[in-house]
Amino acid sequence: MIDATHDPALTSWVDVPDGHDFPVQNLPLGIFSGGDAPRGGMAIGERIVDLAALSAAGLIDVAPALVAGPTLNALLADTAARRRLRVQVSALLADPAHRTAVEPHLVAAGDVTLHLPAAIGDYTDFYVGIHHATAIGRLFRPDQPLLPNYKYVPIGYHGRASTVRPSGMPVVRPAGQRKAPADAEPTVGPSRRLDYELEMGVWIGAGNDLGRPIPIAAAADHIAGLSLLNDWSARDLQAWEYVPLGPFLAKSFLTTVSSWIVTAEALAPFRIAQAPRPDGDPQPLPYLLDAADQAAGAFAIRLTVDLTTAAMRAASTAPVRLATSAARHMYWTAAQMVTHHASNGCALNPGDLLGTGTLSGPDLGSCGSLIELSAGGTNPVALPNGETRTFLDDGDEVTLRGTAHAPGFVGIGFGECRGLVVAML
Ligand code: CA
């Protein structure tokens, strides 16, 4: 799993600022366009390698069909080609002997538009952040925050694939039915309790046939990579509509992902053991339990949430950090999410997207949503400039970031997952 592409001594002839999300050890996959057709690219520093051009020039042994189109689904599906591409592009960018041939196929990241990396056929959002599930559950059920199924079933719901967008797309405040407990009847109008959710996205690589589950020992081979994900949530709509079938219009208006897929290969050095379950918790049922997954199925990824309000932008004030959390707060691994999803025979397809659920930590500084930070809207969050927030105002911009770290390796990041809240059109 660890090879020359992860060597911390590896450098590139492309200038990469220290601490940048995209050193030569990362090479995330995306789709970009710059006045012409969208096509595949890999990010390094502030440049993007045009994979379609490299393929056309014969500089990589990857078929143009996998990288030259407007989506990367075919490349995600072909694990061997994806791994070969990483090794070959790494060598091209590391060895100055290739500079003359490759440099014409680099574009400046600032000159292009980033698109979704894949056509997302299906999007499923899980609920594996146990601190978030406990905190939300406590708001509704102080005596029993976690329902009994939580420690047996990776809970999820089917989200809406057609409204997933890449970082930077505006967040149009949704309208809908709102009914506070004290109200006699619901009213219809713009959400008054718009929130974000700090999550990671899991991109499916190779799929499975309908009727054929994915064994837990094979699940990691179906994961192409990860990105950041913001599951924007209208809490007032959600509280009224969610019984008995779960989230619907409170979530389906928009989901934002960071534009780059940080591949499973790039993340190999940052795998860590799944945290041991607390004493008294049941072991996962056998179909979800695999020694290798327990030993290395979690990820050492630090996650942050930053907020900029309109007033802060007007005053050129730096963003305020609302949370610092980590991917290790997942009660279930990404592989367990995949295996459980396919355990009834459900077919997962290349480019399908799984959200982890909100990845809060155990304390106030690691809350991955405002409903947790503001205790259900009862305890306003004080911002340094004197403003307060219980939920998001129009003009608020939320940016998620993530960085994978491991001793002895160069850290890699995910780019930003950003959205600016605007009033309904
Ligand atoms: Ca969610």
Active site includes 132? yes
SS3 of residue 57 by DSSP? coil
Query: What is the C-alpha separation between 166 and 417, in angstroms, rounded?
Result: 8
The Å distance, Cα 126 to ligand 1 centre, comes to 7
Query: What is the C-alpha separation between 65 and 53, in angstroms, rounded?
Result: 12
Name the active-site residue from 105, 132, 222, 340. Answer: 132
Residue 346 has pLDDT above 80, yes or no: yes
Which CATH code fits 4-115? Answer: 2.30.30.230
Over residues 240-291, the pLDDT tens digits come to 999 999 999 999 999 999 999 999 999 999 999 999 999 999 999 999 999 9
- Vertex 197 angle, CA 193 and 200, to 5°: 165
The amino acid sitting at 403 is T
Q: What is the DSSP letter of 376?
A: T
- The pLDDT, as a whole number, for residue 58 is 97
CA 235 to each of CA 72, 147, 181, 238: distance values in angstroms, whole numbers, following the listed order? 34, 20, 13, 5
Asked if residue 319 has a cis previous peptide bond (ω within 30° of 0), the answer is: no
The Å distance, Cα 61 to ligand 1 centre, comes to 39
What are the strands, taking DSSP E only, across 182-247?
187-190, 194-195, 198-204, 223-230, 233-234
Query: What is the C-alpha separation between 50 and 34, in angstroms, rounded?
Result: 11
Fold assignment, 123-422:
Fumarylacetoacetate hydrolase; domain 2 (3.90.850)
Query: What is the C-alpha separation between 163 and 158, in angstroms, rounded?
Result: 13
The Å distance, Cα 215 to ligand 1 centre, comes to 25
- The pLDDT, as a whole number, for residue 60 is 98
Query: What is the C-alpha separation between 22 and 401, in angstroms, rounded?
Result: 13
Residue 171 has pLDDT above 80, yes or no: yes
Nearest to 72 by CA among 38, 21, 102, 96: 38
User: How does residue 140 score in pLDDT terms, banded at 50, 70 and 90?
Assistant: confident
The Å distance, Cα 248 to ligand 1 centre, comes to 12
Residues 197-212: b if buried by 16+ CB within 10 A, e if exposed: bbbbbbbbbbbbeeee
- The pLDDT, as a whole number, for residue 181 is 86
Q: Where in the chain is the domain with CATH 3.90.850.10?
A: 123-422
The Å distance, Cα 381 to ligand 1 centre, comes to 21
The Å distance, Cα 286 to ligand 1 centre, comes to 26
Over residues 124-135, the pLDDT tens digits come to 999 999 999 999
Q: Which of 143-147, 159-163, 187-191, 362-366 is least confident?
A: 143-147
- The pLDDT, as a whole number, for residue 373 is 97
Q: Where in the chain is the domain with CATH 2.30.30.230?
A: 4-115
Residue 286 CB coordination number (10 Å): 8
The Å distance, Cα 260 to ligand 1 centre, comes to 20
Query: What is the C-alpha separation between 82 and 264, in angstroms, rounded?
Result: 10
For the record, the structure tokens of 305 come out as 């949430």
Residue 425 has pLDDT above 80, yes or no: no
Tell me what the pLDDT averaged over the chain comes to.
97
The Å distance, Cα 67 to ligand 1 centre, comes to 31
Output the CA torsion 132→136→138→141 (10° steps).
-140
Residue 11 has pLDDT above 80, yes or no: yes
Q: What is the DSSP letter of 419?
A: E
